[in-house]
Amino acid sequence: MNAPQISPIYEDMRLRFRSIFISDVHLGTYGCQADALLDFLKRTESDNLYLVGDIIDGWRLKQRWYWPQAHNDVVQKLLRKARKGTNVVFIPGNHDEFARDYNGIIVGQIPVRNHERHITASGKRILIIHGDEFDGVVRYGKWLAHLGSWAYDMTVILNRWLNVARRKLGLPYWSLASYVKRQVKGAMQFITNFEDAVVKHGRNEAVDAVVCGHIHYPAMKDKGGIFYLNDGDWVENCTALIEDFDGTFRILKWTVGQEPVALHSTEALK
């Protein structure tokens, strides 16, 4: 089967944003789509780059070491962006919670902050958190969270082999984990409850929007005057939340060799 042709437009593509938000990369796992993320980082520039947790999967690395060159390349690219003047901020998640003990320190010109605030181009106030504190399983049943993480990893591995077969048949990428989330009523209720809890926290913090990750489900919603902005992940969806220079927010889905697709967009934060 011939490799897909990459258009000259893509070869020359360099996208510039005011801010980029990414999370749930899970470096150190088989499911991490590091090549796609590295391609995204090479073809985008921004004034601000927020790493919204679970960038490195410490849970998995404790169990067995998996660190291919592509994962190292992602880390080096992030450090290089910081050296060249991008405001890169790391907000740890539950899978890289080891970094939460170092709140306030700076590593390679990248500050570690357990939460962060961002002011948009139009002066809107945004709180940036990973979001696991609003997941009752993670907060109150850590053993169950680890079991769920293992089951999720198995789903991702199965999904990888499924998509190898789909590529040979000329079919596009398909996410088994995303399909399960959409079909299982309990999963959708969990997502709704999570969103509501995040928004309630944002209202208590007197902000206009909350950016988070954690649940690997990109979304952009106005919930009673507070915007819920979930940047998705780089395991299932390969998505990033971006802020344009006029204050417009979009969620971009990234596919190597193609122009990005906007899954959601809002000008309401302008």
User: What integer pLDDT is reported at residue 147 of this predicted model?
Assistant: 45
- Fill in the amino acid letter for 134: F
Residues of the chain with pLDDT under 70: 1-11, 136-157, 161-164, 166, 173-188
Q: Tally the domains of the chain.
A: 1
**Is 182 among the domain residues?**
yes
Query: What's 251's domain CATH number?
Result: 3.60.21.10
Question: Does some domain include residue 1?
Answer: no
Phi and psi (nearest 5°) for 129? Answer: -140, 160
Range of the domain at 153: 8-266
Does residue 3 lie in a domain region?
A: no
Largest CA distance in the chain: 55
Q: How many CB atoms lie within 10 A of CB 171?
A: 10
pLDDT of the residue at 138: 43
Q: What is the pTM of this model?
A: 0.81
